[in-house]
Amino acid sequence: MKLRIEPLTADRWDDLVELFERPGASIARGCYCMYYRRSGKHDVPAGMTYSEANKRALKSLVDRGVVPGLIGYENGRPIGWVSLGP
């Protein structure tokens, strides 16, 4: 078993999505770790769910070079996530 921990960067975004879209990850998939990153009420764009809006917001952070968390890998497969920050 080979474990490694990597920062979430734009080139690893698909790994996070894969992890959050797995069965059993409904809470992570719903908030995309944006709950504590926002202050006050936020509106969801028309036609989007909260999950989609949160996913888009986290992706925007990552695309701007912010490292919002770490992804754990086992044998190259994403197996865990920890949010960094607020």
Higher pLDDT, 29 or 3: 3
**Structural domain tally of the chain?**
1
| pLDDT of 86 above 70 | no
Q: Is residue 81 very low, low, confident or very high in pLDDT (cuts 50, 70, 90)?
A: very high
Q: Is residue 70 very low, low, confident or very high in pLDDT (cuts 50, 70, 90)?
A: very high
Domain of residue 68 covers 3-83
Beta strand pairing call for 3-7 and 77-83: unpaired
Tell me the CA distances in angstroms from 84 to 4, 24, 26, 46, 64, one per residue in order.
17, 22, 20, 29, 16
Residue-wise pLDDT tens digits, 17-53: 999 999 988 888 888 888 888 777 778 888 999 899 9
